[in-house]
């Protein structure tokens, strides 16, 4: 007989289960309470924990222009806070703390008003009193009260630290801060989409060269061990951080600025939606300027132009008539026709497999009979499409293979994220995909720049190959990696194709492109000072819904070419997207090309007045203040009679010396000899110094020296 008495045991089990259930609910409830209501408190507790090992971030590398000018660099920024409970461990400390704030409050607020004029002293006072009176965990005063809502630079931070109470030690006065590594571009928005940017305070790249070379620029984190000795913590370096390397780009600041201004001026004139300009060096493929302007609107609805997307490498569209050069180059390279081949364009309208092909002047009677060369000069749609359809209609695959061969379809393998290779499809009549289906009309319309998808960077690389006698270069954006002033890696120019077509075909095309500007539709792109070669393009493009006829017609206007035509140095493409008429590739994009080419060549011809020297005379050199004995020795040996007046520097460790007019080396020597640390800003001579000469030297004093060429 079983001894188990369910009447006695089961109630006990049930009671235990109920108790455990309530305990479980209590644990879950407490956890939810800690996660929600007490979240801020435990977050602050966690932030105060002292870790044994702390990661030390390295300095991010700089991005430089081709001539060494800073285009992106890292500078420290700060958010400043006040701990109103600092130094109030007992009642006596609390009384002393409150009385000190009562005495210094007005002077602090007046000082903050001088540093941040946007906020009055009264507003600062009410803001600080709010933080001081805020209840936190049963204690009066916030422990992390923001003094200013935004980040401030180093100079402003130093000014704030000079205020009463704020200059006291952290645990006594309560003033503390957070340091951020902010990325700055000295030239503002110049080449912004190509140079790139970071995500706010995080050392995380968003786009451009910042993203493509992030691992090189970022460097390697270091490690710091924190050890408690008596009542203090000592920072013991375990592994020093390795700063990121600098990258030297191919961008020329002067050319970039010139191209941006020329493009924006034209966009404003014609009310364009978008514009792209790329300037390449012919022999190396170096991208000297790359502009991506899109129309934006400010808070008042006023339009302005800024770089929002790198359309130069990512915006694939139907290129229009600039593509005709590739079509005719294929025909010339295959030898199916030459420039003397005559096309009967008639009155400017011709039926092509059931669709009407029209020239731009069909309303004025067309071009009648013209040869191949002339059809490219005047950008005749009928002339180009007739030749390609006649010689490749029975074998369109051969034509597309020819396009691949001449490099217009080449994947450039650019280092920039967002690049899209060209899309030129092979003939396929069996596919069910309408976008890929090859019909009878595909070939003639493809030959004049439709039914293909090509980004401007590919078009300019193709034209650059023609200017370079058939050698196709990969567009180069970065030349060198520099670490501690030494070149650690050199990026040599890359040849993608040694020869895109036979030399005879290239030479013929060079002559035709020169005639397009001298006697064709590209006259406005030309110059009176040097020869220009290129091709215009005007194409209708689809809207965002894929339609060409949705009310307002959109046009893609372009001009691609090179200069000087007799000895090519630079290749350039200008593309503009606009709605409605008038729309002319030669008359709008060609004008921008003209301004860019004229400006670039003018920069190369620019002479300095200092160059106008008499070779028989002896000029007094430009001598900076500093080591006057060395300077006098050099001038005596050069037999220079009229010596410049040099200020003899007083050598004293007690006062800050006057280093204005000195070079960097002498200025640093003079300052550090007086016991002052130095931060150099800029290049050339010392224009000004942050600490006035004659000021008494104090321990740890740091002086900023502002240099100027």
Predicted confidence (pLDDT) per residue in 493-505, tens digit: 999 999 999 999 9
Beta bridge partners of 677: 702
Report the sign of the C-alpha dihedral through residues 632, 635, 641, 643, in that order. negative
Which pTM does this prediction carry?
Answer: 0.72
Q: Is residue 564 reached through a cis peptide bond, with omega within 30 degrees of 0 on the bond before it? A: yes
327 φ, ψ to 5°?
-60, -50
Q: What is the mean pLDDT of residues 473-484?
A: 94
* pLDDT score at 205: 85
Tell me the C-alpha distance between 621 and 353, whole Å.
Answer: 77
Residue 78 has pLDDT above 50, yes or no: yes
Instruction: Average the pLDDT over 123-142 and give the result.
Output: 83
Please answer whether residues 245 and 61 qualify as being in contact, where contact means their C-beta atoms are separated by less than 8 angstroms.
yes
pLDDT at 673 over 90: no
Residue-level pLDDT at 545: 47
- Does residue 1 surpass a pLDDT of 70? no
The predicted structure's pLDDT at residue 102: 80
- For position 647, what pLDDT does the model report? 46
Task: Give Cα separations from 676 to 232, 655, 690, 691 (angstroms).
Answer: 28, 9, 12, 10
CA distance 696 to 657: 10
Angle between helices 381-392 and 396-406 (to 10 degrees): 120
CA distance 461 to 497: 11
Dump pLDDT digits (tens) for 678-690.
Answer: 888 777 788 888 8
Q: Is the pLDDT of residue 222 over 90?
A: no
pLDDT of res. 704: 85
**Residue 631 — pLDDT band, cuts 50, 70, 90?**
low
Asked whether the CA dihedral 515, 517, 518, 519 is positive or negative, the reply is positive
* Least confident stretch, 255-264, 411-420, 650-659: 650-659
For 237, the token pair is 């370096």
Task: Tell me which long-range contacts 291-296 makes (C-beta under 8 A, separation of at least 24).
Answer: 291/191, 291/256, 291/259, 291/260, 291/263, 292/193, 292/194, 293/260, 293/263, 293/264, 293/267, 295/267
- With cut-offs at 50, 70 and 90, classify the pLDDT of residue 587: very high
Q: What is the arithmetic mean of pLDDT over 157-161?
A: 90
Burial 18-33 (b: 16+ CB within 10 A, else e): eeeeeeeeeeeeeeee
* Model confidence band, residue 88 (pLDDT cutoffs 50, 70, 90): low
The full length of the chain comes to 709
pLDDT value for 522: 93
Contact between residue 171 and residue 143 where contact means Cβ atoms under 8 Å apart: no
459, two tokens = 């078009």
Per-residue model confidence (pLDDT) at position 403: 96
Ordered DSSP codes for 344-393: E-TTSEEEETTEEEE-TTGGGT---EEEHHHHHHTT-HHHHHHHHHHHHT
- CA-based nearest residue to 81, from 203, 154, 182, 179: 179
Cβ neighbours of residue 231 closer than 8 Å, sequence gap 6 or more: none
Who's near 173: CB < 8 A, 6+ residues apart?
86, 87, 165, 166, 167
Q: Can you tell me the distance from the alpha carbon of 92 to that of 614, in angstroms, rounded to the nearest whole number? A: 81
C-alpha dist (Å) from residue 416 to 190, 453, 509: 17, 19, 31
Rounded percentage of the chain residues whose pLDDT exceeds 90: 46
**pLDDT of amino acid 370:** 94
Residue listed under structure tokens 């180009």: 384
pLDDT reading at 104 higher than 90: no
């Amino acid at each position: 007989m079983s001894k188990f008495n369910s009447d006695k045991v089961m109630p006990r089990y049930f009671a235990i289960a109920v108790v455990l259930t309530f305990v479980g609910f209590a644990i879950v409830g407490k956890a939810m309470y800690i996660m929600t209501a007490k979240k801020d408190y435990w977050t602050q507790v966690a932030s105060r924990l002292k870790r044994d090992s702390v990661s030390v971030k390295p300095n991010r590398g700089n991005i430089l222009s081709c001539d060494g000018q800073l285009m992106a660099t890292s500078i420290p920024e700060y958010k400043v806070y006040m701990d109103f409970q600092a130094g109030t461990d007992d009642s006596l400390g609390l009384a002393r703390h409150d009385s000190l704030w009562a005495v210094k409050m007005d002077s602090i607020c007046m000082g903050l008003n001088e540093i941040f004029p946007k906020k009055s002293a009264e507003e600062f006072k009410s803001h600080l009193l709010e933080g001081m009176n805020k209840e936190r965990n049963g204690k009066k005063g916030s422990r992390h009260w923001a003094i200013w809502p935004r980040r401030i630079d180093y100079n402003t931070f130093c000014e704030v630290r000079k205020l009463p109470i704020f200059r006291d030690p952290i645990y006594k006065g309560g003033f503390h801060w957070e340091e951020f590594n902010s990325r700055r571009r000295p030239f503002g928005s110049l080449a912004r989409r190509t140079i790139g940017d970071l995500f706010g305070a995080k050392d995380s790249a968003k786009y451009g060269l910042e993203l493509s070379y992030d691992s090189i620029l970022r460097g390697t984190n270091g490690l710091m061990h924190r050890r408690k000795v008596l009542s203090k913590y000592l920072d013991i370096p375990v592994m020093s951080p390795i700063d990121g390397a600098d990258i030297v780009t191919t961008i020329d600041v002067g050319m970039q600025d010139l191209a941006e201004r020329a493009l924006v001026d034209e966009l404003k004139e014609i009310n364009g939606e978008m514009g792209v300009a790329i300037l390449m060096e012919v022999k190396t493929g170096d991208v000297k300027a790359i502009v991506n302007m899109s129309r934006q609107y400010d808070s008042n609805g006023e339009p302005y132009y800024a770089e929002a997307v790198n359309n130069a490498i990512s915006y694939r569209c139907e290129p229009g008539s600039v593509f005709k050069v590739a079509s005719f180059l294929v025909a010339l390279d295959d030898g199916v026709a030459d420039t003397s081949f005559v096309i009967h364009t008639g009155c400017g309208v011709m039926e092509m497999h059931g669709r009407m092909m029209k020239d731009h002047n069909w309303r004025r009677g067309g071009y009648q009979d013209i040869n191949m060369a002339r059809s490219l000069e005047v950008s005749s749609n009928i002339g180009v499409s007739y030749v390609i359809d006649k010689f490749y209609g029975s074998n369109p695959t051969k034509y597309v293979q020819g396009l691949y061969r001449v490099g217009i379809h080449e994947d450039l393998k650019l280092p920039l994220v967002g690049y899209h290779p060209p899309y030129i499809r092979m003939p396929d009549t069996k596919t069910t995909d309408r976008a890929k289906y090859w019909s009878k009309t595909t070939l003639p319309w493809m030959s004049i720049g439709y039914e293909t998808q090509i980004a401007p960077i590919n078009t300019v690389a193709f034209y650059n190959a023609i200017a370079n006698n058939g050698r196709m270069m990969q567009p180069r954006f970065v030349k060198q990696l520099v670490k501690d002033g030494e070149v650690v890696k050199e990026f040599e120019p890359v040849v993608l194709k040694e020869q895109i077509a036979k030399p005879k075909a290239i030479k013929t095309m060079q002559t035709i492109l020169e005639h397009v500007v001298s006697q064709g539709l590209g006259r406005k792109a030309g110059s009176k000072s040097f020869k220009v070669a290129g091709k215009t393009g005007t194409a209708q493009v689809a809207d965002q819904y894929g339609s060409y006829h949705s009310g307002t017609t959109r046009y893609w206007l372009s001009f691609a070419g090179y200069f000087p035509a007799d000895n090519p140095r630079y290749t350039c493409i200008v593309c503009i997207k606009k709605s409605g008429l008038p729309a002319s590739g030669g008359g709008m994009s060609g004008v921008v090309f003209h301004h860019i080419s004229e400006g670039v060549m003018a920069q190369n011809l620019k002479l300095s007045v200092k160059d106008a020297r008499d070779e028989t005379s002896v000029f007094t050199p430009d001598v900076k203040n500093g080591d006057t004995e060395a300077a006098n020795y050099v001038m005596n040996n050069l037999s220079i009679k009229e010596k410049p007046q040099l200020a003899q520097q007083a050598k004293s460790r007690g006062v800050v010396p006057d280093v204005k007019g000195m070079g960097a080396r002498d200025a640093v020597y003079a300052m550090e000899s007086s016991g002052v640390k130095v931060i150099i800003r800029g290049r050339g001579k010392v224009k000004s110094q942050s600490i006035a000469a004659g000021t008494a030297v104090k321990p740890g004093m740091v002086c900023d020296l502002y240099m100027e060429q």
